[in-house]
Structures are given as C-alpha cells and as structure tokens.
Amino acid sequence: MFMLERERIDSTFKKVKAQSANFLTLINLSLGALALLFMINNDLKIGFILIFLAGLFDRFDGMVARKLNIESEFGKQLDSLCDLISFGIAPAFLIYQAVLHQFGVPGMIFTIIFIVCGAIRLARFNITEFTGSFVGVPITVAGCLMAAAYLSINFVPAFFFMFLTIGLSFLMISTISVKKQ
C-alpha cells in the first residue's frame, strides 16, 4: 500500500515539474493581458509595470525549462503565443494610448505594423534551428524597449514614437544577428 502511494506522489511530482515552465509562461501571458485591461481603463502606469513583470516571468520560464531539462515543442509554441500578447500587443497598445493615438490612422497603422512584425519574428524563430544567436531583435527586447519609451513621453516630441515604433518593427524582422545573453 505504501509503495502505491509513493508511486502516485512521484508521478504527481513529475507532472508538476514537467509543467512548471509552462505555468510561468502562463503567468507572463496573464500579466500581459492584465496590462491591456489596465490600459483600456487608462491606467497606463500600471500597464507599463505589468509589461516589465511579464518580462521577468518570460526570463524565468526559459531558465526553469533548461534547468529542469523540460524543454518541449509545446512549451516553445506556448511561449511565443504569450510573448506576442505581453511584448507585441501590450507595449504597442501602451504607446498607442499614450502618444500614437494623436496621429489618427497613421498611429493605428504603425501600432499594427509593430504587432505584425512581432508575430512574424516569433513565427520565424519557431521554425528555425537556434544556433546561439537570434536573427532579428527578439520581440521581448523590442517590446520592453517600446514600453520603456513610455517613461520619456514628457521629454521627447510625439513624432519620435512613430520612428521608434517603425524602427523596432523592422529590427524584429531584420536579418541582423543578436547573440543570446
């Protein structure tokens, strides 16, 4: 009887361990979605903070997956889907709500271009073999830079954010090589 109970506990522990990185990834997604909800209610500061918290969980999910040797194709795909929300849609919406809305349709187009380029970047990453360097700027980097730019809104002209948005968009889909840190 004791052996059966021990086997059941071991089995449960293995299942929990196998999903630990995915759980962190889902926290990343939840924080990105929560950021969007706060931004819809015009609480951009909280949205900004939540994007950076999502970045922390994104960093930890990969570390946990590698450390526990639980990397999987499912986890890779899940991470990309979550990253699109937290580092594509949320930062683009933050800057749109804060500044780009002033430009009307062009502001909307630049916001959408950032999200589209982020999706292309993630899809390209998922179908290529990783060699130690990223091709194009990772969406997490571009998204965090976009979100960080929110701190400069009162110090730089509004049109700067149009250039920043399009520049980061093209850097994500560029062929420049970025060494993984």
Comparison of pLDDT for 132 and 88, the residue scoring more: 88
149 has a pLDDT exceeding 80: yes
- Residues 6 or more apart whose CB falls under 8 angstroms from that of 79 comprise 25, 28, 58, 61, 62
Averaged pLDDT for residues 61-77: 87
pLDDT score for 7 = 60
DSSP one-letter code for 128: S
Q: How far apart are the first and last CA of the chain?
A: 49
How high does pLDDT run on average in the chain?
90
| The model's pTM | 0.89
> For domain 2-179, is the CATH number 1.10.286?
no
Q: Per-residue confidence at 179, pLDDT binned at 50, 70, 90?
A: confident
Q: Which of 38-52, 60-74, 117-131 has the highest mean pLDDT?
A: 38-52
CA 43 – CA 38 distance, rounded (Å): 5
DSSP state letters, 58-86 = HHHHHHHHHHTT---HHHHHHHHHHHIII
pLDDT score for 43 = 97
119 has a pLDDT exceeding 80: yes
Q: Which of 19-23, 69-73, 128-132, 142-146 has the highest mean pLDDT?
A: 142-146
Which of 101, 80, 75, 63 lies closest to 143 in space, CA to CA? 80
Query: Which residue carries 């506990």 as its tokens?
Result: 9
